[in-house]
Structures are given as structure tokens and as C-alpha cells.
Structure 1
Amino acid sequence: MTVRVLLADDQELVRAGFKLLIDSDPDLVVVGEAEDGAQAVELARSTHPDVVLMDIRMPRVDGIEATSTIMEDERLAGVKVLVLTTFGHDEHVFAALRAGAGGFLLKDTPPTELLTAVKVVAQGDSLLSPKVTRQLIEAFVSRPDQRADPPDLSMLTDREREVLTLVGRGLTNAEIARDLVLSPLTAKTHVSRILAKLGARDRAQLVVIAYESGLVRAQG
């Protein structure tokens, strides 16, 4: 099926470049362009895209607030947000992940990687593999002003806490299965149960929870 993409960036030239790239892929199509977060929310409601490519720094309503609004809107269930930023150490990226973004990319990401990322997020997976993502989460979750109240993990079993710890370290289900000597299906089941128990939207939020709860600590 064709993945429907909404572009949100305050720079027209940037949007034009992304549109040209995305429309070049037969599996992707741009269904709308927004120049700020408020317009992104409006267009998301009218076009119901699969993925919103969301810039963080925009006028009126920024990408963080727009992401949070989209994620909390029941009418937009199933819409994923992939955050775009110019700087790998943009302190607002972590806030966007906490708000529900499925991952983030730098704007200078190679074209083929960006196209793949859109498809990965559209399928419901989180874009967590790039090393810079983990570095950024570690850098900002370790700061007192970035921490939220730690979630209650008491409803998790010991095994589920182990799995959550490994998710927080960026491991895939296959890697978790290998480390804990489980079948890949069992590892996937554990992750699904953790998502349900914690009310997390996706794997990206599980990583945030793992850090905020102290299961995984920032290196250094």
C-alpha cells in the first residue's frame, strides 16, 4: 500500500526538496504541506496521513506541541510522526519523543535512508537504531530539567523489566531474544505486553520510559 506523507516545515524550499524526493518513490506520496505546527494539525485531520515529517522549530506552534496534539487526538489514531531537525543535539528532540514521535532524523540524512525511515515508521516501528538517537536521549534524559516523573513499573514482571531494559538500550526483538535465550516471538510478545501495561504508544516511548525510570542510565 502507498504510504501517505504530510510535510511540516516552515521553509518552502525544504518542503519542495522533500516532496520531490518522496514523490520519486512509488510507495510514497505527499498528501499535504504545512508551514507551521498549527497547519500541520489541521492538515493531519483533513488528510489523515500515515506519517507526518515534522520539523521542530516552526512559528506559531512548534513541532513538539503539534506532535503532542496529533498523538492525543483520537481522530488521528494510527498517524505516526517522524521528527526532522537540523542539529543532532537539539534539546527539543527528546521532548518530541516524549510527546509521541516515532523517531527522528537529521535533515542531512541521505535520501535513501530518509525514504526507508518513512516506511519503517509507517509500519509502526520506531526509528531508534541510529547511534545519534541514543546519544541524544542519554544526553538530555540525564539532565534534571529534562526528566519527567518516573512511570510506575510495579505492574511489570521481572522478565518484562529485563526486556524493557534491553529495549531502552536500543536492542531489536531478535537481539533481545538472543540475550535472554527466548524465541523471537516470545520477545515480541513481551514487548507488546509492556506497551499495553504502560500505555506506551510505541518502542520510542519505551526507550524514554526505560531512561526516566532508571532502568537504563546515561553513559558517562
Structure 2
Amino acid sequence: MKAFFFASVLKAQTPLGPAFLVNPESVGAQDNPDLQFDGAGRLWFVWTDLIGLEPESDRVMARALSPQGELGPTSVLVDTSDIPVTPALAPLIAPLHDPSGGFMLFYSRSDADGFDRVYGQPVSATGELVGKIFKASPPPPSSAGVSAATSLPQGGFFLLEYLVPCADCTDAPVNVDGLALRVDGSPATPYFQVQRNRRKTPVLGVRGSAVDGQGNIVVVWGGV
């Protein structure tokens, strides 16, 4: 199933022009869009693009809308064809504190042994990967998936993750934990529990967080 992502610019809840298409057409399905403005006023979009009709891999794509309203080229930020059946999931944007622009990309992906990990890597103002990819989750036997990413006002980032302390344990619950990172992606705090879950399935709706100017964080989630 093909998916198309459209965007509209609003002012006082009124569209300033027609909707415009963000993602070019692809053979495979496209899903999981996210968007954020960077420090230079570019609006960045990321999404996943499945490779082929019966895919074993996918890609994370990115594209920017300039402050002048011009769509830039599409970039491939992640290609999971190196290890089949380990797709990248839920790509998220956290803007860099840089007036020239750019952002930190976060996403979840299984490793070769089947453990879900959270990865991050900086992306330049031109949509190119810079620096080294880093892991932002505990090592196996833990398993984790990122659900929200936010830039912190003092620099660095805050992640919300579904965290399973022991993925090999049959009765391990899936909790929602928070983690603060420094600008270089290294941990600034230990993991701390945001929401304790007694179930083996993730809490629904944990996809939003907001940070004020003092670095206080608000998290929302659903529940049953």
C-alpha cells in the first residue's frame, strides 16, 4: 500500500496555500513521518520507505522545506539492506542547537541477534550524515524502542523509550523510561522510570513529550 505525505502551512489556523506533496512516489510502502524545524528555519521531514513489494529491509528518508518554501532533494539516511529483516522503525527528529541548522536522527532497529536497539546520528543542514552513529539504549539482554525525542534548551536531548530490562525473560514488563543525552549522544543521566507497566506489551500512545525553557519535561501516554 502506497502512502503519500502532504503538508499545509497555517497561520492562525488558516491555510496559507494549497497542500504540497512531501515524499516522492516509491515502489514500497512509506510510513512513520515526523517533522521539526531546525535552527535555520528549515522544516525537516523524515519517514520510512520499504524497499520493494515484499520487503526484508527499509530506508529512512529525509527532505527539507526551506524558509522560502522550496522543497530540497530527498536523502537516504538509513538503509537496512545490510542485515535483512531488521527494519528501522519510528524515525524521529530532534533539532540541533546550531543556527546553521541540522538535526539529530533517532530510530529503533533490531541488531543481528534480534535485540531492539535505539540509534542516533547527527544530520547536517544539507541532509548528510555527519559524525558517528551511536547507541542510545542498554546492551542486550535489554531491548528498547524510541517513542519520542526532544531537544533540551541547555543542549542535548531527551528520549522516551519502551524498555524491556530482559528481552529473553518471559515475564518481563515493557516500561516507559526516560534518558537525557549530551550533545555528543553520550548519556547525561541514568535511565529513570516515567511510567511503570505491569504488562508485557507497550503502553499505548506514548508518542509525545514537550520541554519548557527551564528543561522541565511533560510526557503524555494512553492506557487501558
Q: TM-score, normalised by structure 2?
A: 0.28
Q: Which has the higher contact order (CA 8 A, sep 6+)?
A: 1
Q: TM-score scaled to structure 1, two decimals?
A: 0.28
